[in-house]
């Protein structure tokens, strides 16, 4: 399964009131493992930068003035996320901005059911909260010391680590216990030693050729030990 862990930065809180995207960061996961592919785009919002927003992410109007407008990066964004599930913290916020920009540029919006909201996932796992990104990093022992301000790519990288923890941690459990029960009602079966060993799967000629090869290896060959053990 292909997923894109995504984060955005904006000029404010309301895409319908004139606020715009200024940064998109994405990290690709394949079967919950980072592939190394990332998306990182700064965007000229074609408007001023409110002080409140600048204090959050540190992206000034001057810094963004020579960056591409969303229209110029829309296809790159669409190509990167195409066919993937989006993993977003507080997904309704980011999806609202992304879809506003897509519609403004004449592209189709992304259905909301294509996104998994890690905030909702965290609230189910940790109903007592808090469940913001910094709190989740602290809870799961994820180093967020570089996060002096919000940044879309850094936050996406941190969220990818948090997401893996939320769905079960870095080490998936390996169980050899069958979930079903035997017809006799004896309960779950576990892997164990066969009551009767399997018959050899090599022919007599193959065994003779192997023995002849071992004789060429000298008296100290490790194979002599294994051959002796298997004949007991």
Q: Is 40 a catalytic residue?
A: no
* Residue 173 domain-assigned (yes or no): no
Q: Which residues sit opposite 5 in a β-bridge?
A: 27, 87
For position 98, which CATH number holds? 3.30.420.10
Q: Which domain holds residue 145?
A: 2-166
Is 9 in the same domain as 77?
yes
Quote the pTM value.
0.72
* Residue 188 domain-assigned (yes or no): no
Q: Residue 1's closest CA among 107, 76, 87, 111?
A: 87
Domain end (from 121, 139, 166): 166
* Residue 136 domain-assigned (yes or no): yes
* φ and ψ at residue 36, rounded to 5 degrees: 100, -15
- Please measure the distance between the N-terminal and C-terminal CA atoms of the chain and give it in whole angstroms: 49
SS3 call for 7: strand
Is 213 in the same domain as 113?
no
Q: How far apart are CA 5 and CA 89, in angstroms?
A: 9
For residue 221, name the pLDDT band (cuts at 50, 70, 90): low
Task: Return the DSSP state at 17.
Answer: G
- pLDDT at site 232: 44
* Residue 180 domain-assigned (yes or no): no
Token pair of 116 as six digits: 């998994």
* Residue 9 domain-assigned (yes or no): yes
Is 145 in the same domain as 65?
yes
The C-alpha R_g of the chain, in whole angstroms, comes to 28
Domain end (from 166, 193, 211): 166
- pLDDT at site 178: 43
Q: Evaluate if residue 176 carries a pLDDT over 90.
A: no
CB contact at 8 A, 4 and 29: yes
Is 217 in the same domain as 138?
no
pLDDT tens-digit map of 47-75: 999 999 999 999 999 999 999 999 999 99
* Residue 186 domain-assigned (yes or no): no
Q: Evaluate if residue 78 carries a pLDDT over 80.
A: yes
Is 121 in the same domain as 219?
no
Total domain count for the chain?
2
Domain end (from 138, 166, 194): 166
* Residue 156 domain-assigned (yes or no): yes
Is 95 in the same domain as 12?
yes
Is 105 in the same domain as 217?
no
Cα dihedral 154, 160, 161, 165 in deg (nearest 10): 150
Is 8 in the same domain as 99?
yes
Q: How far apart are CA 167 and CA 121, in angstroms?
A: 9
pLDDT tens-digit map of 20-46: 999 999 999 999 999 999 999 999 999
For the chain, what is the largest distance between any 2 Cα atoms, rounded to a whole number of angstroms?
Answer: 85
The predicted model gives 205-222 an average pLDDT of 72
* Residue 105 domain-assigned (yes or no): yes
Cα dihedral 90, 92, 94, 96 in deg (nearest 10): -170
Token pair of 95 as six digits: 């999806």
The residue from 40, 89, 114, 150 that is catalytic is: 150
DSSP secondary structure letters along 31-54: TTEEEEEEEEEE---SS---HHHH
For residue 174, name the pLDDT band (cuts at 50, 70, 90): very low
% of residues, the chain, pLDDT over 70: 79
pLDDT tens-digit map of 101-118: 999 999 999 999 999 999
Q: Which residues of 38-51 are buried (b: 16+ CB within 10 A; e: fewer)?
A: bbebbbbbeeebee
């Amino acid at each position: 399964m292909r997923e894109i862990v995504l984060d955005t930065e904006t000029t404010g809180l309301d895409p319908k009131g004139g606020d715009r995207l200024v940064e998109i960061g994405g990290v690709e996961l394949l079967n919950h493992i980072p592939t190394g592919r990332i998306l990182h785009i700064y965007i000229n919002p074609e408007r001023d930068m409110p002080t409140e927003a600048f204090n959050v992410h540190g992206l000034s109007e001057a810094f963004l003035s020579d960056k591409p407008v969303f229209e110029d990066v829309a296809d790159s964004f669409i190509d990167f996320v195409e066919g993937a599930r989006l993993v977003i913290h507080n997904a309704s916020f980011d999806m609202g901005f992304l879809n506003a920009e897509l519609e403004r540029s004449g592209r189709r919006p992304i259905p909301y059911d294509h996104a998994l909201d890690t905030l909702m996932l965290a609230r189910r796992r940790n109903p007592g909260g808090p469940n913001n990104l910094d709190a989740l990093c602290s809870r799961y022992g994820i180093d967020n010391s570089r996060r002096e301000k919000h940044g879309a790519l850094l936050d996406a990288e941190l969220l990818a680590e948090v997401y893996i923890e939320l769905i079960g941690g870095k080490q998936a459990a390996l169980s050899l216990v069958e979930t079903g029960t035997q017809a006799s009602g004896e309960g779950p079966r576990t892997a164990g030693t066969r009551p009767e060993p399997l018959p050899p799967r090599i022919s007599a000629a193959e065994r003779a050729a192997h023995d002849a090869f071992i004789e060429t290896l000298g008296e100290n060959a490790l194979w002599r030990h294994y051959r002796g053990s298997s004949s007991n």
